[in-house]
Structure formats: structure tokens, C-alpha cells
């Protein structure tokens, strides 16, 4: 028997004796009613004690997340690169190779201040055909000369794939002695340079 139950029965006994004493041996109040009230009081006290001793459940406001939604929320987005369109180049079909220095091979001597004609032989490797809108233009170099002012030298004939062409430029040798060099480039009708550079290297004495 619990401690609270023992106290309850003792309290009921004392109340019954009190009622009997006050009534001169004849209780004015029905003992059963008194016991009922006492028992109701005890039940209330027990209920309050039980509530006070029971742990308070914690309440959380975290909503339940389904596994599918949680996987979607935690998944790192993957970005798929878009395919880039293939680029186009007008000079893609123009290919060449240098065959020979027809005149003034590299290292040749020239007269100071005198004009000279440099000629190269080139071959069309195709697949495009060269026409008279193709040319040879100044590229770079020529320090100490005026070769950078040389105008384009246009092709003199139509050149089919596999055929060769001789193309020339007229240059003026510097007046000061020394070694001089420059590069020239083939250029198609769209303004694209192609093929290997064509060089001129001379010595002025």
C-alpha cells in the first residue's frame, strides 16, 4: 500500500470519529456521503500528483519530410553543358606548302639600296581552288627596311589542287650593311591567311 493510500484511510477514520463525536453518538450526516466526498477529494489529489510527476512531452513543429522530397532537397543539381555549334572557318579548305625559293634563297647578298625581286614556288594542297583574288601579303619583320609597305601581290593564275604557282614581290634593299629578314603570308579571297610563311633573308654589304 502506497504512502498516499495510508494517509487516505487515516483521514477517513479521523473524520468518522469526528462526526460521531459531534453528533453525540448519532451522526447527523450520512457517513457514506462523507466517505464519498473524502474519496473524491483523494482521487483529485492523486490525479494532480500523477500529472505533476509525469514527464511533459516535448512538442516539435518540424514537419515530416518524405524520403523522396528529402532526396530532392539534398541532391546537388548537375548542370549539363549545352553542345557548342561547330565553328566555321573560311580558310579551312585552303592548304599550301612551300616548294622552293626560286630567287634569292635565304642568306643571299643584295646590293645596298637596289631593288630585287624575290620569288617563291608554292603548291596548292587543296581542296579549294585558288583564283586571282588570292594574294601574298607582308607578315612581319623587316626591321630597318620599308618592306612593310609592300602592297599585296595577287596570284596571276587559277591554281587547282595539286598544282604549283610562282609568286613574287619587289623589294628594295636597305642602304646600311647588315642582315635583314621578313615573312610574307598567303591570303585567300576572304582575308584569311593560310599555309606556311614565306621568308626573305638577305645580306647587304
Express each pLDDT in 167-202 by its tens digit: 999 999 999 999 999 999 999 999 999 999 999 999
Threshold 0.75, pTM exceeds: no
Question: Would the pLDDT of 66 be above 90?
Answer: no
User: What is the Cα–Cα distance from 22 to 98, expressed in whole angstroms?
Assistant: 140
Question: Would the pLDDT of 131 be above 70?
Answer: yes
Question: Would the pLDDT of 133 be above 80?
Answer: yes
CATH architecture designation of domain 94-204: Sandwich (2.60)
3-state secondary structure of 90: helix
Answer whether 176's CB lies under 8 Å from 111's CB: no
Confidence of residue 78 (pLDDT cuts 50, 70, 90): very low
The structural domains of the chain, with segments of one domain joined by +, span 1-52, 94-204
Residue 196 grid cell: 606556311
- Overall average pLDDT of the 115-128 stretch: 97
Side-by-side strand order, sheet with 193-204: 108-110, 193-204, 178-187, 135-141, 153-154
DSSP calls for 143-186: TTSSGGGPPPEE-SS-B-TT-EEEEEEEEE--SS-EEEEEEEEE
User: What is the Cα–Cα distance from 22 to 31, expressed in whole angstroms?
Assistant: 13
Question: Would the pLDDT of 94 be above 80?
Answer: yes
User: What is the Cα–Cα distance from 155 to 135, expressed in whole angstroms?
Assistant: 5
Amino acid at each position: 500500500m502506497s504512502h498516499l493510500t495510508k494517509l487516505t484511510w487515516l483521514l477517513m477514520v479521523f473524520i468518522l470519529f469526528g462526526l460521531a463525536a459531534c453528533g453525540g453518538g448519532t451522526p447527523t450526516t450520512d457517513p457514506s456521503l462523507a466517505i464519498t466526498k473524502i474519496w473524491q477529494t483523494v482521487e483529485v489529489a492523486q490525479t494532480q500528483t500523477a500529472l505533476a510527476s509525469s514527464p511533459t512531452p516535448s512538442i516539435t513543429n518540424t514537419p515530416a519530410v518524405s524520403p523522396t522530397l528529402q532526396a530532392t532537397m539534398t541532391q546537388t543539381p548537375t548542370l549539363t553543358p549545352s553542345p557548342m555549334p561547330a565553328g566555321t572557318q573560311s580558310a579551312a579548305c585552303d592548304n599550301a606548302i612551300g616548294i622552293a625559293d626560286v630567287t634569292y634563297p635565304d642568306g643571299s647578298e643584295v646590293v645596298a639600296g637596289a631593288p630585287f625581286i624575290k620569288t617563291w614556288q608554292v603548291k596548292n594542297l587543296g581542296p579549294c581552288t585558288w583564283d586571282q583574288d588570292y594574294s601574298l601579303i607582308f607578315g612581319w619583320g623587316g626591321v630597318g627596311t620599308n618592306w612593310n609597305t609592300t602592297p599585296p601581290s595577287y596570284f596571276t593564275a587559277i591554281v587547282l589542287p595539286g598544282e604549283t604557282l610562282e609568286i613574287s614581290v619587289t623589294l628594295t634593299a636597305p642602304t646600311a650593311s647588315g642582315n635583314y629578314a621578313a615573312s610574307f603570308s598567303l591570303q585567300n579571297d576572304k582575308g584569311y591567311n593560310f599555309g606556311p610563311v614565306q621568308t626573305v633573308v638577305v645580306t647587304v654589304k
